[in-house]
Each structure stands twice: as structure tokens, then as C-alpha cells.
Amino acid sequence: MQFLSPGQIVVRSFVQLWPVWASLAVVFGLSVVYRRKLGLFGQVVESATGFAGLLLVLFWLFAAVFGRRIELFDPLSQIARMQNTAPGAIDPHSGLPYLFGGDKLARDVFGRVIAGARIVLIIAPLATMLALSVGISLGLPAGYFGRRVDAVLSFLANLVLAFPIILLFYLLVSPGILETPIPYTLAGVFFAVPIVLFGVLFVSGYRTQPTQLALRLALTLLVGAWLFATFVFNADPFGILKVSPSTLNIFIAVALASGPGIFRIVRSLTLDIKTREYVLAAQTRGESAWYIMLWEILPNARGPLIVDACLRIGYTTILLGALGYFGLGMPPESPDWGTMIKESSPFMRIFWHPALAPALAMMSFVLGLNLLADAIREQSLRD
């Protein structure tokens, strides 16, 4: 069998990733040209950490978007003679190289890492958004009304926070639980929350403009119903997305694990902001409680929330990896990074390459998010 030299591997990988480099060049070119007009984003790009963070995050974003174009082999197909081959081995049949070698089931590690990006970059941000909407819609009233509402909601949040995450995953993400109505009930509640949140947002904000209100409510209901059907019942009326029950289960577990943390942040931000003058002014005007929470307090809490969301997507990625590492929820063939690490770690002493690539991928993506969050925090503190 023929092999590429280390130099050739680097060059070939670089060439193979050309759509990513091209997109990165376009994005950063545009952001340098228009940095004056981009506000916070422009400042973040100008700082060294922000630039590095954005570079890493966008790299994986574009790798996920152009995945099918980048990978040389299908992430699930097996070519028997390529089993455990070292990086750069050339498949004699097609003449194409396994750039990062082959794993124990003779699959292309390079293609699998890229395909893993697709899985991670879809689930992690969406699950974070779900947790964010649940955290916001419970944290705002807890902080604003205080007293009994706060006591009950805080107790529930602390209950989940006191639960070790790993135990939660073992109990909640198992094939057995899919036979029970628990994941679907939880999903129903979780996905109903954002719909209600947006509904209340528009009702309280556009009370005086009935046409605008009707338009926005109709849109909310449509998008909400589509998401609800797709995720909770796995019956996308347009057939765009397929969400299997086990994927849904992962969504729910991850959202449940990070929801209470977001709740606590939103609650403490609300406690702080509700004493400001503009909130008092709104109260004097006789605005409704939900108007004040959603249109006065929430926009002014956005800075810390954006930073937290960035950190949390990274944390969710780590949780997803842990799920994969313990073989929970993900299908056994799945090319997500955690499952890849799990599959190759028993043979690490002999074949190191199938474990190293997904490990570095995971690390660089989370590092990018954390650097980005740090840069945003620095820049927003500056002014």
C-alpha cells in the first residue's frame, strides 16, 4: 500500500478544505472592510482573541456546511483493506487517500471528523437555544415577581442542578426510556415554551398595532408548529428535517442539563435590572408585567446572555461528546466526535490516529467558542 508523506498530507488536507478557506477569506475580508459599521462584531474581530475564536468557530461552521464537498469518502462506508491504516494511506481502488488514516472498522477518519462537525454544529446550538428560551421564560418571572414564584422555580432549578449530570444522562438517555412517554412529554413542554415566549413577546409589544401583531403571531405559530411537529412527533410536514427519537432524547437531556444554569443567570440579571429607572418609568406608565420583562429588561440583559450563550454552546458540545463517549443516545455508527473517541480509545496504545483527530476537533471548536466569549465580554465591558 502506498502512503502520502507528512508534507503531502498537510498540503492535501489544505487543498481539500478549500471551500472553508474561501468562505473564511470572504467573511474576514468583508468584516475588515465594514468593521466601522459592524459595532460590537467589528470590535471583536479586531481583538486578537476574538479573531482567533471566530476563526476556529467559523472554520468548523463552514466545514459542517461544505461537509459533503470536503470529505473524500462516505463517513460510514468501509473499505476492508484500509483497516487501522496510518494517516496518508492511499486506497488502491479509488486512488484517493485516507488523509487521517482509517479506524478499526476501516472508515475514513478525515471524512468522519468532518461529518461529526455536521452533527455537533446542528445539535449543540439548537439545544442551547432551546435551553436559553426555557431559562429566559422562567428566569424573568422568577426575578421580576419574586416571592412564591421565585421560591418554587428556584427550588426546581436547584433540584436539577443538584443532580449529577452524568447520572441524569444515564437515566434519561437510554433506549428503554424511548418506550415511555417521558421524553415526548418533556419535549412537548420544552418546545411549547419558545412558542409561548414569542407569542407573549408580540402580544405585549404590538398591542396597539393589530395588523403587525396578527402577522407576527401567525408567523410564530407557523414556525412553532413546524418545529413542534418536526421535533416532538418526528413528522416534518415538508420533509426537510428528520429527528429520530434518540436524537430528540439527546436534545431533551442536554437542554434539561443546561436550562437551570441559564435560569439562574437570567434571574439574577432581572433582579439587578428591575431596580433601574427605566423599569420604574415603565411601571409608572402602567405597562403590563410581561411587557416590562420582555421589552425593557430582556434587551438590557442581552450582553451577559450572549456571552453565556457562547460559553454554553461550547459546554453543550462537551456534554454531547460525553454522551457519545458513554455510548448514550447516539447510534453506534455515528461519526460524532464523542462516539469516535469512545470507539478508538481502547486501541489507543497501538493505533493513536483515530482518537487524536476527533479529540483535537472537539478541543479546537470549544476553544474557539470560549475565546470568542472572552473577547465579547472584554469588548462589551469596554464601553
Binding site for another protein (CB under 8 A): 49, 155, 158-159, 161-167, 170-172, 174-177, 179-180, 182, 314, 318, 321-322, 325-326, 338, 341-342, 345, 348-350, 352, 355-356, 359-360, 362-363, 366-367, 369-371, 374
* Closest distance to another protein from the beta carbon of 286 (Å): 36
In whole angstroms, how close is the CB of 174 to another protein at the nearest point? 8
Q: How far is the CB of 23 from another protein (least distance, A)?
A: 23
- Name, in order, each residue with C-beta under 8 angstroms of 270's C-beta and a sequence gap of 6 or more: 139, 140, 142, 143, 144, 293, 297, 301
Instruction: Please say which residue, 156 or 217, places its beta carbon nearer to another protein.
Output: 156
Q: How far is the CB of 310 from another protein (least distance, A)?
A: 12
Instruction: Give the CA count within 13 Å in the CB-facing half-sphere of 45.
Output: 19
Q: How far is the CB of 106 from another protein (least distance, A)?
A: 21
Nearer to another protein, 172 or 197 (CB): 172
- Is 120:76 a contact under the CB 8 Å cutoff? no
Mapping DSSP onto H, E and C, the string for the chain reads CCECCHHHHHHHHHHHCHHHHHHHHHHHHHHHHCCCCCCHHHHHHHCHHHHHHHHHHHHHHHHHHCHHHHCCCCCCCCCHHHCCCCCCEECCCCCCEECCCECCCCCEHHHHHHHHHHHHHHHHHHHHHHHHHHHHHHHHHHHHHCHHHHHHHHHHHHHHHCCCHHHHHHHHCCHHHHHCCHHHHHHHHHHHHHHHHHHHHHHHHCCCCHHHHHHHHHHHHHHHHHHHHHHHCCCCCCCCCCCCHHHHHHHHHHHHHHHHHHHHHHHHHHHHHCCCHHHHHHHHHCCCHHHHHHHHHHHHCHHHHHHHHHHHHHHHHHHHHHHHHCCCCCCCCCCCHHHHHHHHHHHCCCCCHHHHHHHHHHHHHHHHHHHHHHHHHHHHHHC
Nearer residue to another protein within complex by CB, 70 or 328: 328
In the bound complex, what is the minimum distance in angstroms from residue 165's beta carbon to another protein?
A: 5
Nearer to another protein, 138 or 293 (CB): 138
Comparison of 203 and 306: residue with beta carbon closer to another protein: 306
In the complex, minimum distance from the CB of residue 210 to another protein, in angstroms, rounded to a whole number: 45
- Minimum distance from CB of 94 to another protein (Å)? 29
Q: In residues, how long is the chain?
A: 383
Is the CB of 179 or the CB of 333 nearer to another protein? 179
Between 180 and 284, name the residue whose CB sits nearer to another protein. 180
Residue number, 182 or 217, with CB nearest to another protein = 182
Residue number with CB closer to another protein (146 or 327): 327
CB 163 → another protein: shortest distance, Å? Answer: 6
